[in-house]
Amino acid sequence: MIPMDWDQFNNKLITLGYSENDRLQIEKAFSFASQAHEGQKRASGEPYVTHAVAVATECADLQLDAVALMASLLHDTIEDCGITRKEIAKQFGEDVAFLVEGVSKLGSIRYNDAQRKIESLRKMFLASAKDIRVVLIKLADRLHNMRTIRFVRPEKQKRIAEETLEIYAPIAYRLGIGSVKGELEDLAFPLVYPNEYAWVKKEVDKRVPEGEQYLREEVKHVLERAFVAEHIEPIAIDYRKKHLYSLWKKLLRYDMDMARVTDLLAMRIVVKNIEDCYRVLGIMHQLWKPLPGRIKDYIALPKQNGYRSIHTTVFCVRNKITEFQIRTREMHKEAEHGVAAHWAYIEGEKPKQGGEVAGRMQWVQKLSDWQKEIGTPEGSEEFLESLKIDFFNDRVFVLTPKGEVIDLPMDATPVDFAYAVHTDIGNHMIGAKVNGKMAPFDRPLSSGETIEILTQKNRKPNLEWLSFVKSSIAKNRIRAALRKESSVTPLPAYAQQQKRGTYQFTLTIQDRVGLLKDISAVFSAFRINIQHITFNNTKNKSYPEIVLSAQLRDTKQAERIATRLKNIRDVEEVSYAI
């Protein structure tokens, strides 16, 4: 139920444990939003402010802090009411203004370009939200818009629903917010794929009632008896129905064969602690034989989005294949609320440590090394500060001309960009355009800029680049290219006059199996026999050397062979002499 007025909303906040001080602040934002949206209507005909309250209610359910709740109430006032950021900052402080502005900005990112990769968009979306609360408010906003989408024009419905499936639901998933992800998908599914939805729905409706009865009446009490015998007190023995959209996605992988889906319904057992999770698993496997390969310990190895649980599938009562999910209450809350569960900060509760947030956000870590920046704040002041951590504050996200997002370290330059796209582009770079204008090679890039690299075939990297590039990729590739450049040492002038004779090649190598074979293959290709070969594994050199000699026709041939040798993997340097 969406609260209709302040009293109802206030009651909800009291139930959820928000302090009086918090509620006083939130009430101020509530009246401000009511006034700002005065006279505006939703497509449903309801007063516009009902939307703001619905979004705030969702944020309260996720237990976001008072600042986020105030921002959620005000989230559409900049865009729809002509209120300025300054005004919000003056009335509610910089933090609230920052969040409201962030949510408004996210709203202005457009996804119409089908060419753009969805993955890139997700990254961009997250990168442009400098505070994760902005993303959470935006998700709550989208959730309410999806719940009320039936009032919107049909063509528009489909576009919004597609965007929801492609951008918003995956972000909710990445943040581990299972409740929001599942609902967003199920609301969007019938609008984007109406026929498929109808089919899946029909199939599920055929099977679910019988399955529910089986779990409720046959399985549950067997479990309960076993738990009593083993002195385990479960908090809940329940079941969950698979969301229709994720079921359909699974069916696509299973040739639409419903019989192969074994987790349409799954028994969910919530216990007090991790130890009990494993004891329950043991009990279940004594009762029923597990299906091989179907025991998944997401407690020992959480999913990338932080999901924890133990899953197992067994031949259950009457040999029916049944999935079980075992978890603690905390894991359950995390699975529903995701990042928000660690984020919730209500006065009086002890704030969670930054490190825990870090643990859940492993996928973000892939994009950046922000984790190093996070301390373990003790006071709530510091904790709130840490909530504002820009997950990407040491990364910049720039775009290729095709709209692909390239993720680079802070202060990266066009040269870093070029090497991130492709080694050849870096090696042959002669210039760069940033947002369509020529830019110096060492200009620091900022998020959102579009970079285009100009190349020329015979161009080579410059030693000087090493003084300003930021990414290790660029550094390594530049060094490699320069080494390659200088590593085939030509004969001194006096020797170049020499023609036929015995040439000696010295190769610096990283030894590996098959390397000698690759080297001798080069000589075979020229139909030349190697006369002599020695292997110097000298202690004072970092790399071993191979020295070999052969009769060659002329210097040109030696040059060609040297070049070929240089191209062999693990041959670092080649020089030759007559």
**Closest approach of Mn ion to the CB of residue 38, in Å:** 16
For Mn ion, the closer CB: 73 or 132: 73
DSSP run (H or E) holding 433? strand 429-434
Question: Side by side, which strands form the sheet with 488-489?
Answer: 488-489, 571-577, 501-509, 545-552, 530-536
**Closest approach of Mn ion to the CB of residue 89, in Å:** 20
CB atoms within 10 A of CB 459: 13
The amino acid present at 67, given as its one-letter code, is: V
For Mn ion, the closer CB: 140 or 310: 140
Q: Which residues pair with 290 in a beta bridge?
A: 314
**Closest approach of Mn ion to the CB of residue 160, in Å:** 12
For Mn ion, the closer CB: 75 or 242: 75
For Mn ion, the closer CB: 141 or 203: 141
DSSP assignments along 232-299, one per residue: ---SEEEEEEPPHHHHHHHHHHTTT-GGG---SEEEEEEESSHHHHHHHHHHHHHHSEEPTT--EETT
- What backbone phi and psi angles, to 5 degrees, belong to 569? -60, 140
**Closest approach of Mn ion to the CB of residue 138, in Å:** 9
Q: What angle do CA 177, 1, 92 make, to 5 degrees?
A: 70
* Residue 387 · residue 345 · CB < 8 Å: yes
C-alpha distances out from residue 319 to 65, 209, 298, 325, 391, Å = 48, 19, 25, 18, 48
Q: Which of 27, 61, 80, 404 is catalytic?
A: 80
For Mn ion, the closer CB: 133 or 327: 133
DSSP 370: G
**Number of alpha helices (DSSP H) and beta strands (DSSP E) in the chain:** 27, 16
Q: How far apart are CA 175 and CA 305, in angstroms?
A: 6
For Mn ion, the closer CB: 72 or 128: 72
For Mn ion, the closer CB: 49 or 175: 49
Here the tokens at position 20 are 């009086």
For Mn ion, the closer CB: 78 or 453: 78
* Residue 71 · residue 78 · CB < 8 Å: no
DSSP run (H or E) holding 415? helix 414-421
Here the tokens at position 206 are 């055929």
Here the tokens at position 493 are 């002038």
**Closest approach of Mn ion to the CB of residue 137, in Å:** 9
Here the tokens at position 207 are 């099977």
Q: Which of 27, 46, 61, 79 is catalytic?
A: 79
**Closest approach of Mn ion to the CB of residue 55, in Å:** 6
**Catalytic (active site) residue 80:** yes
Q: How far apart are CA 359 and CA 349, in angstroms?
A: 20
For Mn ion, the closer CB: 65 or 141: 141
Give the SS3 label for residue 557.
helix
DSSP 450: B
Binding site for Mn ion (CB under 5 A): 76, 141
DSSP run (H or E) holding 144? helix 132-147
**Closest approach of Mn ion to the CB of residue 454, in Å:** 43
Contacts of residue 49, Cβ cutoff 8 Å, sequence gap at least 6? 33, 34, 37, 40
For Mn ion, the closer CB: 49 or 415: 49
Q: Which residue from 171, 131, 127 is spatially nearest to 394, judged by alpha carbons?
A: 127
* Residue 285 · residue 226 · CB < 8 Å: no
CA atoms lying within 13 Å on the CB side of residue 106: 30
Distance of CA 358 to the CA centre of its chain: 13
**Catalytic (active site) residue 119:** no
Active site residues: 79-80
